[in-house]
Every structure is written in C-alpha cells, then in structure tokens.
Amino acid sequence: MNIFILQFNKEQQVNYMPKSLLFLPDISGYTEFVQTTEISHSQHVIAELLEILVSANTLDLKLAEVEGDALFFYKEEIPSLEKILAQVETMFTAFFSQLDLLKNNRICPCNACSSAVNLELKIVVHCGDIEFITVQNKKKPFGPQVIEAHRLMKNSIASDNYVLISQTLADEIFLTEHYKSKLFDFEKLSDTYDKKVLAYQYAKIATDNLKLNRQTAIKKINFKKSPSVLLEKKFPIEANQLMEYLSNYSFRHLWVEGVDAFEFNKNEVTRIGSGHVCVINQKHLNFTTVTKDVEENQLIYGEVTSSFPFVDAVYQFYTLTPISKKSCELKLEIYAEATSFLKKLVMAVVVKKILKKNAYKAIESLYEFIKTKKN
C-alpha cells in the first residue's frame, strides 16, 4: 500500500507540473533594413528598439536570449489572459512610441534613420512543459515547445504587425476565437511544420489604436541677432558624410583638441535631445542637440551648453550645403547669450575671442581629418 501511494504521488507531481510561458517579440523587416541601409546606424536603431522592448517587460519575464532581431523571454508560470494581452499592448506601445521619437527627432539623413519608421513588430506566445539547460551559467529553456515557438514565427499570417497565441496557450488562458477588443480581434489559423499541425490565434495590431507616448513638438531655435562667431569653409566630402563626422560623437576626439574625454550613449544615433559631455581638466560641459530652420537642401547639426563659464548659454550650429557629390560648404554659427551686465561685459571682451579661436582650430582640424580620411 505504501509503495502504491508513493507511485501515485509521483505521477501526480509529473502530471500537474506547471507549464511555462514562451514570449518572443520579433522586429519585422529587420533583414531588409540591415542589408539596404548603413550598417552602423542600423545596428544602433535595432539595439535601441530591442532595449525598449526589454524595458517594457511588465510581466517579470526572464530574458533567455537576444536573437539578432528578436528577444526570447520565458516565465515559469502562465499569467492570465488579461495580463498577457496587457504585456503585448505595452510592448507594441513602447516599440511604436520609439519609432515615433526616431522619426520626429531625427537629424541624420541616412537611409537607416529615415527608413526605421517602416519597421514593424510581431509577437509569438506559446507554452508547454519546458526543460532547462545551463549554458555559461545562464538558464535557458529547452525542448520541443521551444522549437515549436520558433517555428510559429514562420507562419501564414498576411501581416508583419501582429500577436500570435498558440492554440495550446489559448486553451490554457481561455482565449476564444470570439474575443474582441479595441486593439485585439483574434482569428484562427494553422500551419504544418514537419507533418505536425500547429493551430494558433492571431490579431493584427493597428497602430492607430495604440496610445503612443507622443513627443512634444520640437522647438526650433531662432535668433534675431547676428552670431557671435561665423566661419565658413568648403570641404572635399559629401554633405551626408560630413554630417556623420559632426554628429557622431565617436569621431569628436579626432578633430576637437583640448578635450580629455567625450561621454555619450554609444548605442544611440544622435538626434534632437541627445546629450553628450566634454570633460576638460576634470570639468564637465554638458551639451544637448538642438536644431533650427535651414533651406530644404541643407543639413543642420546644432548643440547648446549652459556649462560654459561667464555666459548663460552657448549655441553652435553647423549648416551643410551640398555643392556636388564630392563637396559641400560648412557654415559654423556660434551664439553666446548673457543676461547680466557683468556677463555681457566679460562675453564682449573675453568669451567671444575664446569661442572664435577654438572654433577656428576645430574647423581646421576637421578639415585636416577629412583630408586624411580621403587619402
């Protein structure tokens, strides 16, 4: 009798072992995006989007793997239907809010930055009795259900913007094909993988139904006065490429002298609102990217700092005008602002001379850097 009871309890434990959730967000259009755009900026854009999706994890999902354009999450329990759909909505909202930010705050003219808005998102959700393996001290889901979840990413849905919930999971969370809300309108479908039919329910996501975190209108800087410093120089380089050397802070140390270090987010493409720090003699000058109106064919990169001594703010604007496919003209305008009488006096006597001297050295160093790159 005792042996029978032990065997029965063991079978019960196996039969009622809690299932795990598998949650896979995947960026649609990734392959074409990477293959047809500038590799550096496309990497930054995808990295930012993946980080946004990780930050939008409200279900305390465990991240098992970053798979190029996708994330592989799991949870050793199955949340309710409401919680799963709320997580899906949160990720779609975060993803498309970030694309909205990239679109509205963009200063870079490259194909990667301009076409990022065309990226979309699909999320596949599955469940099952999952085994785990440990690789480099990291626990990862393993087994047939993991394979099924990845295969479900290759499906017959006529969209690149959707959530797919396997029928196995749908049965667990009581999702019926009649479920409908403002964002979700599920339909049934199935596909065959290795002679096995996998049924699922899916809902196409209309971005118009998402409550995006819209960015406030970009404030363009306009001055009714002449710049404190004005320099112009022709460069033997395409305007788009010169824009990259100006706005990509990883190049700054190559043409700006006297700075001990430049601190910035290396995984971010510079946009309006981006920040970087110049460290000079252990002092930190904080800069923020700004913009102003220019002609349609011109490119503009601007930055402002309130850290410069004896003035309230210093604005620098680099305006690039294409001349040919191999040359452009750069115009540097610097505006120094001061409110008090003392600051205005110091600015007129000292600050303008320092700004002009430093600006001239920077432009000449930039020119020499460009010549070196061409050779």
Which CATH number fits the domain that encloses residue 199? Answer: 3.30.70.1230
Are residues 195 and 250 both part of a single domain? no
Are residues 278 and 343 both part of a single domain? yes
Are residues 76 and 139 both part of a single domain? yes
Q: Of 297, 301, 375, 287, give the one whose Cα is nearest residue 332.
A: 301
Domain with residue 289: its CATH number is: 3.30.530.20
pLDDT of 12 over the 60 cut: no
pTM confidence score: 0.86
pLDDT digits (tens, 9 = 90+) for 202-250: 999 999 999 998 766 678 898 889 999 999 999 999 999 999 999 999 9
pLDDT of 177 over the 70 cut: yes
pLDDT digits (tens, 9 = 90+) for 43-81: 888 899 999 999 999 999 999 999 888 999 999 999 999
User: In the chain, pLDDT over 70 holds for what percent of residues?
Assistant: 94
Query: DSSP alpha helices (H): ranges in the chain?
Result: 2-15, 30-35, 39-55, 81-104, 111-115, 144-151, 167-173, 239-247, 341-346, 352-374
pLDDT of 14 over the 50 cut: no
Amino acid letter, 62:
K
Query: Can you give the pLDDT at residue 372?
Result: 87
Are residues 151 and 271 both part of a single domain? no
Tell me the residue range of the domain where 21 lies.
17-209
Are residues 187 and 273 both part of a single domain? no
User: pLDDT band at residue 11, thresholds of 50, 70 and 90?
Assistant: very low
User: pLDDT band at residue 375, thresholds of 50, 70 and 90?
Assistant: low
Are residues 192 and 245 both part of a single domain? no
Residue 8 lies in a domain: no
Query: Can you give the pLDDT at residue 155?
Result: 95
> 209, 243, 276: which is the final residue of a domain?
209
| Residues paired with 131 in a beta bridge | 142
Q: Domain count of the chain?
A: 2
Residue 220 lies in a domain: no
Are residues 149 and 194 both part of a single domain? yes
pLDDT digits (tens, 9 = 90+) for 86-114: 999 999 999 999 999 999 999 998 888 88
Are residues 91 and 235 both part of a single domain? no
Residue 3 lies in a domain: no
203, 184 contact by CB (below 8 A)? yes
Q: Of 205, 114, 109, 118, give the one whose Cα is nearest residue 165.
A: 205
Query: Can you give the pLDDT at residue 13?
Result: 35
Are residues 68 and 139 both part of a single domain? yes
pLDDT digits (tens, 9 = 90+) for 142-169: 899 999 999 999 999 999 999 999 999 9
> 181, 209, 237: which is the final residue of a domain?
209
Provide the 8-state DSSP code for 277.
Answer: E
Pairing of strands 327-337, 313-324: antiparallel
pLDDT digits (tens, 9 = 90+) for 22-41: 999 999 887 788 777 677 88
pLDDT digits (tens, 9 = 90+) for 316-366: 999 999 999 999 999 999 999 999 988 888 888 888 999 999 999 999 999
pLDDT digits (tens, 9 = 90+) for 119-144: 999 999 999 998 888 888 888 888 99
Query: Can you give the pLDDT at residue 188?
Result: 95
Name the token pair of 368: 């020499």
> 209, 244, 275: which is the final residue of a domain?
209
Residue 11 lies in a domain: no
Task: Please report, to the nearest 10 degrees, the dihedral formed by the alpha carbons of residues 291, 292, 298, 304 taken in order.
Answer: -40
User: In the chain, pLDDT over 90 holds for what percent of residues?
Assistant: 69
Are residues 284 and 148 both part of a single domain? no
Are residues 57 and 119 both part of a single domain? yes
pLDDT of 314 over the 90 cut: yes
Residue 24 lies in a domain: yes
Residue 115 lies in a domain: yes
Are residues 250 and 351 both part of a single domain? yes
289, 271 contact by CB (below 8 A)? yes
Query: Can you give the pLDDT at residue 251?
Result: 93
Residue 79 lies in a domain: yes
Residue 61 lies in a domain: yes
Query: Can you give the pLDDT at residue 41?
Result: 86
Query: Can you give the pLDDT at residue 217?
Result: 63
User: pLDDT band at residue 17, thresholds of 50, 70 and 90?
Assistant: low
